[in-house]
Amino acid sequence: MQPSLERHAHLIDFAISSLLRRKGKNLSLLAVYVLIVFVIASLILFVQALRREASLVLTGAPEIVVQRMVAGRHDLIPVSYGADIVSIRGVSEVVPRFWGYYYDPVFGANYTLMVPDQSPPAEGTIVIGPGVARNQRVKSGDLLTFRGASLQPLLLTVGQILPQQSELVATDLITLSAADFQAMFRLPPGTATDLAVKVANPREVATVAAKIAERFPDTRPITRSEILATYDALFDWRSGMMVVILGTAVLCFIICAWDKATGLSAEERREIGILKSIGWETTDVLLLKFWEGTVISLTAFLAGLSLAYAHVFFFSAGLFQHALKGWAVIYPDFRLTPSLDPYQLGILFFLSVVPFVAATIVPSWLAATTDPDSAMRS
């Protein structure tokens, strides 16, 4: 081994022996440190993967969705608006969307019901999302009972259960025929939930949306870029729960670093004094302290990051599930697409390793520059 590497190997030997002399304190510090890195890294990986998923999957969402607003609330829109909207230059198609929510009082679950305009299920048949099948414990061919608009029971046969891959977009989705939808909700004739507008040229979407809002003052056009922006803001650090989790983790980290930075114990001070008196240079002491800080912080960073990766991508962020699920009865059983963003890992590294190493070195530097005799006596 090269002499310089050998020197560092000896320093690491000494640093580990020194840390092991205060085994209880340093092991508990390492455990807390791993936990903090684990929580922050899990959040970063989870949020990044979800945002990526949303940005890729929702590119197929309608270019513009036109809602009607009445007294500040979303209301049913006359299908006749579509005929006017399609006459706007740049609009190639306007399709009314029929969808709504159904609360199942037996299972306490909310479902999203929708009539697909392309190949809807036959009358009396439904296609259900995997979450609905799990919740109701039904399989293809089983009957499901719903309550119609006039409280009459509506028996529908499960024609198909959507595959597991659909969990993140359709776990609670039930698609049905227009006749069954009408029997369930009895929408006034000539109305739809909203209108999906297709614009041939993506660069004209904003102009078309402005024209729709101008021509129909009671409507609210929602563009695809706004839908994507909503999901980009999902789990934004400013949102309530994120502030609490990140704030707590950062505070824990500050307490750890503060404990290190506010000074050395009498034993550590004496140790530095002895090292200086037997001939160690100040740079040697600082290198020793650098390795002490690195051994703890790098180990915690790598262990916390590895655990976070396994937690998010192998165990579907199980620890966050209870918080994310809230009071929902149906929660998607999804597996996120694994990805590691070097930029975010770099930020996590510089936030977790560098300040801790600095907080270890600075007080040691102050102690190492004092007279060995007074350092030993203090």
Partner 1 sequence: MAHIRPSRWYMLVTGAALGFVVAAGFHASLNKDADQMDLLYRADLVRRHRLTDLSLFTEARYTRHPAMADLHSAFQDHPMALEHFPSGSFISPPALLKRNHATKP
Nearer to partner 1, 196 or 361 (CB): 196
Residue 34 to residue 363: CA distance in whole angstroms:
23
Q: In angstroms, what is the minimal distance from the CB of 330 to partner 1? A: 5
Q: In angstroms, what is the minimal distance from the CB of 325 to partner 1? A: 8
Q: In angstroms, what is the minimal distance from the CB of 3 to partner 1? A: 15
Residue 12 to residue 18: CA distance in whole angstroms:
10
Q: In angstroms, what is the minimal distance from the CB of 155 to partner 1? A: 24
CB contact at 8 A, 276 and 377? no
Q: In angstroms, what is the minimal distance from the CB of 79 to partner 1? A: 15
Nearer to partner 1, 211 or 376 (CB): 211
| Per-residue 3-state assignment (H helix, E strand, C coil) for 7-46 | HHHHHHHHHHHHHHHCHHHHHHHHHHHHHHHHHHHHHHHH
Nearer to partner 1, 177 or 363 (CB): 177
Q: In angstroms, what is the minimal distance from the CB of 252 to partner 1? A: 21
**φ/ψ of residue 112, rounded to 5:** -105, 120
Which residue has tokens 């439904």?
A: 126
Residue 184 to residue 148: CA distance in whole angstroms:
4
Nearer to partner 1, 46 or 253 (CB): 46
Nearer to partner 1, 231 or 365 (CB): 231
Residue partners of 312: CB distance under 8 A and separation at least 6 = 42, 45, 46, 49, 336
- How many other C-beta atoms lie within 10 A of the C-beta of residue 307? 16
Nearer to partner 1, 203 or 238 (CB): 238
